[in-house]
Structure 1
Amino acid sequence: MKTTNVSRRALLKGMAAAGTGAALAGTASAQDADNTAGVQAGDIQCAERLMGVDYTDGERAQMAGELDDYLTRLKARRAAVMLANDDAPALTFTPFLSGSENNPQNDGVRISRISVSDRPGSDVDIAFAPIAKQGHWLRGGLVTSARLTDIYLERIARLNPVLNNFITPMADTARAQAAQADAELAAGNDRGPLHGIPYALKDLADTQGVKTTWGAAPYQDRIPDEDAVIVSRLREAGAVLLGKASLGALAYGDKWFDAVTRNPWAPEEGSSGSSAGSASATAAGMCGFSIGTETLGSIVSPSTRCGVTGLRPTFGRVPRTGTMALCWSLDKFGPICRFTEDTALVLAAINGADAGDASSHSHGFSYNADFDLSALTVGYDPAWFKDATPTDQWALEQVRKSGATLREIALPDLPYQALFTVVEAEAAAAFEDLTLSNRDDMLAWQEARAWPNTFRAARFHSAVELIQIDRFRRRVMAVMDDVYNQVDMLISPNFAGSLLIITNFTGHPSLTLPLGMEERETEALTGVADATSGPARRLPHTITLWGGLLGEGEMLSMGRYLEQRANFSRYRPQVAV
């Protein structure tokens, strides 16, 4: 077969002349009317500073035609192919390095024993009870799902105007699902530990016929036709959906299109985010549990602020089919609860692959309340605790007393912040239409650190540099693989040692749990002009465990041990009592 060496430029021109490139030609003529001269050497010279490169005049002149071709292709794609938020990239991320062991395990959750002498008390006590205890009452006929649901709906009606943590309460749906749960349990049809337990859902998972707004003004009237897979799984487990919890617009922060979600412990400050409403509602006893998501801190941060227990599972454990995509290689769904074992019950219900999410995988999940902690090795860097708070120091000492082996580790000094480029580029791609149509102006938060500015700036990232960052990401994965060959988990103050960044990009799970009350200044409200931090007051303080891949069970065992010794559940936000 005879071949001809044809340049890309000649190929594109030939396609246009033959008619197969009509879209290219039409787009170029329509959109290049204001730039008939094409890319000039001066344009390239101005752009070099953005890319951190320096070319000669001759090199710039040679590059001009190449960049003209690039712009032609770019404009053709934009004109001909409108990508939807659920159009995922062809390349998918996996946290598992080739040749590494994947911690095989069978499904099974064995929680601690429930005291049969416990009886329901006041509505407040019922609202703040663990899932297992609520389930015990349901199966013993001491409480109905209808009553439990009404308790939470009353609290939502009373507290939501103060905390702004629900965008769309679903009272009618919740009561119907609760009635069905009671009927099924009475008939002996028990769907499992979540049967009849009311929950709140972060408003970026689709709910058929009910608004799913993504917290953002451009989408506040969006009504999906189908349920997300996670919604279907929780319905199959018998859980009762109370409503759609607020989130920072497009999964960033705690400011959504109508309000700022507040921290129940200090309503003068935001709840942090982006799982803002999920954490706030759980802390305020407005649901049995909630579902949050994390791309880069959106479970850890609001759990820290609101004093709740947030489990960020291994990347890919929970499928994202039917949910808003922010960063395909980073987005993760997980439970936000008041107790560690509650997160195990929820994860068991939502774990496992789905064909609609190419990054999801099926691995068993097991948890055993009687797990022997002496079998664990927990890593830490003394530098993380050098200036740590008393609660952090106490937690480290409790791990030492648990029987587990404590091992000092040190992470390489690498530019982990460079990984942010992946988030910026993927998020800008996911919401390209907002930037190009100027509908990004509709978003409520417009500061320099907010999404609109980030999306615009990301258009100037180098594609080559993005690939280099991805290669660096794999090197970081190898570093952490070496670390977890020495330890089962790490413990640190929540944001120490770049662990939040590192583990999100490597896909490792984390557990953030409250262990005490400490004095700190209240945070300024997000996106409010002239907002300042408030006076110091006693507020929840959490710590984070960072588990090995698929190591949630062991991590939860250590978390429960710390939780029992801290007895944080004796504290409740004053606004919620």
Structure 2
Amino acid sequence: MKRIYALVFLCLSIFSFNSCKTNEQGFTKKDIKSSQKLIGLEFEEPEIETMYSYLGRNKSGYDSLRKVETPFEVFPSMMFDPHPVGFVFPEKQSDPIFIIPEDLELPENLNELAFYPIPKLASFIKHKKISSEELTKFFIERIKKYDGELEAVITLTEDLALKQAKKADQEIAAGNYKGILHGIPYGVKDLMAVEGYPTTWGAEPYKDQVINSTATVVKKLTEQGAVLVAKLVSGSLARGDVWFGGKTKNPWDLSQGASGSSAGSGSATSAGLVPFALGTETLGSITSPASRNGVAGLRPTYGRVSRTGVMSLSWSMDKIGPLCRTAEDCEIVFNAIYGNDPLDPSTNEVPFNQVSKKPSELRVAYLKKDIAKDTTEIGDMVRASLEVFKEMGIEPDSLELPENYPYAVFDIILRAEAGAFFDELVRSGEVDRMVEQDGGSRANSLRQSRFIPAVEYLQANRQRRMLIEEVNKLFKNYDVIIAPNLRSRQLLITNLTGHPVISIPNGFDKKGRPSGLTLIGNLYDEGSILALAKAYQEATDFEEKHPPKFIE
């Protein structure tokens, strides 16, 4: 009892301004004093006294805000603008041209179709060497045969796929051929809503979620006659390759994860379960699985592709792009899905211009310091790629990324925005149901996001604006920047600035696992990086190699 009296006396004497008294909002002045340590500030007791009632009103405001339901599809009124001061948008030059080969014959071993690029598959369908229904059933059977090992598919959309394939065959038979994607099967990362099917976001709390609408990108592909066969794994809420059903595997090494968070899109495309897939990237989620699984992955300019009907992780950093067999396939799919969507305020009408320049005509630089400092096998493969570019007639200039920025803090932009989107998940406690709960998990990231001050979030975005201007000055004299895929600041910088990149295979490590390199382009100039990527793939054969276990 004496200890209790002593504690009360100490509290009253040290905090004579009632710091131990809890107000109607449920916090004390002592709580305010302690919380200062989290934000690196220190106010004196009179100042805390002044703030006390104000913070109480703030908390009342938070409580009233939480009583109003905010649908997932609502964007913040403050929109990210990636455009440097004075930026000039490109004008349309000509419509992209994609050549469908003539006189192709089906391979004797039909299993080879699993790894054919889109133009060859399109040739067989257009010229009625195989029907869309037959090709769709072929890929569905591969999913049923192999996905038990890969864990790349969350939902097989078999009924929808067969319905779409039969419709494609009827349209083609009637002379209504819609183009190169007509009748071609594909998959989408399960962040994208498809009416009538679960949209799980890869996370236990949402595994039974059905969104009664369809994402704009899926609608666009449907309009062009493509056939959706599967919803593919996203790591839990777009983090890593672990989801509520397991861990998605790299087809080249089943002891290794497929990387994330577009893990299913990378793994399924690599293993020949789908000809191509759509993924999303906020901070490496297309380029990382593309590199890990040995496929091509295009992350377009921020705002190029609509995110309507797609889970948000960071409104100012999310992008949607294709993972494909080749850079040309990426170009085909990108051309099909980009463009303005009135429901996504970040999109616009900027045209896509295909580039037909020779490699030697492109203005190319490389990140010398970032490439030189990687002494691993991956670094050796990037340096070997530089020699290939030289053999192609390219003598790249060296370029260094800016170093005078607080890169360690920029991640709060993503985390604060994710915290807002998943506010209810955290406050309800449902976040505790997620499979991963360690320090690096999405669950933990969402919890700690509640402690990011709004002031620091805005300050980070002001620094981001400065970074945008400086990077624009560095890049504007070049068409393409050659960079390593990972282990480089370019991954964070280009995701912050909104620049497009493509990852393409460039070699294999001692264990026979693929790696990749990155080509960075200027805003809206996907054409240049695609042109150089296609030329590189013509000079090499990495994209022609496939995981042995999945070849029959």
Preserved CA contact (<8 Å) 1:407 1:487: no
CA–CA separation in structure 2 for the residues paired with 1:539 and 1:553: 29
Preserved CA contact (<8 Å) 2:25 2:59: no
Tell me which residue corresponds to 2:316: 329
Residues 1:351 and 2:338 aligned together = yes
Q: Which of 377, 398, 409 is residue 388 of structure 2 equivalent to?
A: 398
With over 3 angstroms needed to count, the CA separation of the structure-2 counterparts of 1:556 and 1:478, relative to structure 1, is same
Structure 2 residues not aligned, in runs of 5+: 1-20
Per mean C-alpha deviation after superposition, the further-off stretch among 58-67 and 463-472 is 58-67
Tell me which residue corresponds to 1:230: 217
Per mean C-alpha deviation after superposition, the further-off stretch among 262-271 and 102-111 is 102-111
CA–CA separation in structure 1 for the residues paired with 2:396 and 2:90: 21
CA–CA separation in structure 2 for the residues paired with 1:362 and 1:51: 42
Q: Which of 415, 428, 435 is residue 437 of structure 1 equivalent to?
A: 428
CA–CA separation in structure 2 for the residues paired with 1:405 and 1:495: 23
Tell me which residue corresponds to 1:373: 359
CA–CA separation in structure 2 for the residues paired with 1:419 and 1:121: 53
Preserved CA contact (<8 Å) 2:104 2:120: no
Tell me which residue corresponds to 1:421: 412
Structure 1 residues not aligned, in runs of 5+: 1-32, 520-536
Residues 1:48 and 2:39 aligned together = no
State the one-letter code of the partner of 1:418. V
Moved over 4 A (4+): none
CA–CA separation in structure 1 for the residues paired with 2:106 and 2:421: 49
SS in 2 for 1:449: coil
Distance apart, 1:58 and its partner CA: 2.1
CA–CA separation in structure 1 for the residues paired with 2:380 and 2:183: 39
Preserved CA contact (<8 Å) 1:199 1:288: yes
State the one-letter code of the partner of 1:448. G
- TM-score of the pair, normalised by structure 2: 0.92
State the one-letter code of the partner of 2:138. I
Pairwise mapping of residues 82-101 of structure 1 onto structure 2 (< 5 A)? 82-101=69-88
Preserved CA contact (<8 Å) 1:380 1:407: yes
CA–CA separation in structure 2 for the residues paired with 1:282 and 1:360: 27
CA–CA separation in structure 2 for the residues paired with 1:482 and 1:239: 40
Residues 1:304 and 2:291 aligned together = yes
Preserved CA contact (<8 Å) 2:505 2:517: yes
Identity score, percent: 37
Preserved CA contact (<8 Å) 1:377 1:405: no
Preserved CA contact (<8 Å) 1:352 1:360: yes
Pairwise mapping of residues 134-533 of structure 1 onto structure 2 (< 5 A)? 134-368=121-355, 370-386=356-372, 387-388=374-375, 389-413=379-403, 414-519=405-510
Per mean C-alpha deviation after superposition, the further-off stretch among 63-72 and 555-564 is 63-72
CA–CA separation in structure 2 for the residues paired with 1:226 and 1:70: 36
- Which whole-Å deviations, capped at 9, do the CAs of 1:440-485 have from their partners, x for residues lacking one? 0111111111111111111111111111001011011011110122
Preserved CA contact (<8 Å) 1:351 1:362: no
- Which whole-Å deviations, capped at 9, do the CAs of 1:49-86 have from their partners, x for residues lacking one? 1001122222222221221121121112113x122222
Distance apart, 1:37 and its partner CA: 7.7
CA–CA separation in structure 2 for the residues paired with 1:319 and 1:345: 17
Preserved CA contact (<8 Å) 1:327 1:426: yes
Preserved CA contact (<8 Å) 1:279 1:302: yes
Preserved CA contact (<8 Å) 1:109 1:344: no
With over 3 angstroms needed to count, the CA separation of the structure-2 counterparts of 1:538 and 1:64, relative to structure 1, is same
CA–CA separation in structure 1 for the residues paired with 2:292 and 2:382: 15
Pairwise mapping of residues 555-566 of structure 1 onto structure 2 (< 5 A)? 555-566=529-540
Per mean C-alpha deviation after superposition, the further-off stretch among 47-56 and 34-43 is 34-43
CA–CA separation in structure 1 for the residues paired with 2:515 and 2:445: 31
- TM-score of the pair, normalised by structure 1: 0.88
Preserved CA contact (<8 Å) 1:164 1:261: yes
Residues 1:575 and 2:538 aligned together = no
SS in 2 for 1:491: strand
CA–CA separation in structure 2 for the residues paired with 1:563 and 1:447: 40
